[in-house]
Amino acid sequence: MINLGVLASGRGSNFQAIIDEIEQGKLKASIRILITDRPDAYAIERAKKHNIKHIYMNTKEFSSKDSYFEAIAENLFNEKVDLVILAGFMRIVGKPLIDAYPMKIMNIHPALLPSFTGLHGQKKALQYAVKITGCTVHFVDEGMDTGPVIIQSAVCAFHDDTEETLSNRILKMEHKIYPEAIRLFEQGRLEVQGRTVMIKDIPSRDYDYLINPPIQLTD
């Protein structure tokens, strides 16, 4: 059992997917706190529904980015959080939080990193007319979507896709691989060696399936 702290800025659909896995007994974790940087984030309503502690932290109340993330780290420490989960948190994580939780902060990005970093990964994929895109769970470092990759899932991009249809297809896979990455962490099966995240106790014949599940051809 591990304690999770979740940071979110919006609707928190990945937050909900993690809640569902916990409540169904598939993930041995407890969400100790939700921290938002927006008072209107719908993730707050999800937290209320599931009796999860939640706080809004206004960046304007802090003198600097560092002091803001120092305060976030303090709140997480107070709740004995083992792993920090970014669930649509629309800020680049500051160094004080990264230093407090080295290789213990996870993020999910709607593209196959290192392609299409930053905002609007789905739109960028369509503009580039790629045939395959997807999503990536990675550990967070000081760069933008540059941390070591944990799991990726491939999704086809069609010529008639819109940003919305592609985003919805990718989101379905996000909801599958994010809880899986947390489960691997909880089981003590992730080991970071430089840029490589080693997953322990996986037979070689199963490795490709875990890291890159079958391409999603349809909605």
112 shares its domain with 214: yes
127 shares its domain with 200: yes
Evaluate whether 128 touches 99 at the Cβ level (below 8 Å): no
115 shares its domain with 210: yes
> Which DSSP category does 216 fall into?
B
Cross-strand bridge partners of residue 149: 138, 196
- For residue 202, name the pLDDT band (cuts at 50, 70, 90): confident
199 shares its domain with 154: yes
Q: How far apart are CA 118 and CA 207, in angstroms?
A: 28
- For residue 209, name the pLDDT band (cuts at 50, 70, 90): very low
pTM: 0.92
- Answer with the one of 102, 134, 166 that is the final residue of a domain: 102
Structural tokens at position 108: 């999910």
Q: What's the mean per-residue pLDDT of the chain?
A: 93
> Which member of 50, 54, 109, 138 is catalytic?
109
pLDDT above 70 for 218: no
Share of the chain above pLDDT 70, in %: 92
Q: In what order do the strands lie in the sheet with 196-199?
A: 54-56, 29-36, 2-8, 83-86, 105-109, 132-139, 149-156, 196-199, 190-193
The C-alpha angle 180, 183, 187, rounded to 5 degrees, equals: 140
Report the number of distinct structural domains present in the chain: 2
136 shares its domain with 97: no
Q: Answer yes or no: 120 catalytic.
A: no
DSSP string, 41-82: -THHHHHHHTT--EEE--GGGSSSHHHHHHHHHHHHHHTT-S
CA 61 to chain centre: 26
What number is the average pLDDT over the span 110-121? Answer: 95
- Answer with the one of 102, 128, 145 that is the final residue of a domain: 102
Q: Which residues of 21-45 are buried (b: 16+ CB within 10 A; e: fewer)?
A: bbeeeebebebbbbbbbbeebbbbe
Q: State the residue range of the domain holding 190.
A: 107-219
120 shares its domain with 75: no
pLDDT above 90 for 179: yes
37 shares its domain with 84: yes
92 shares its domain with 134: no
pLDDT above 90 for 176: yes
77 shares its domain with 146: no
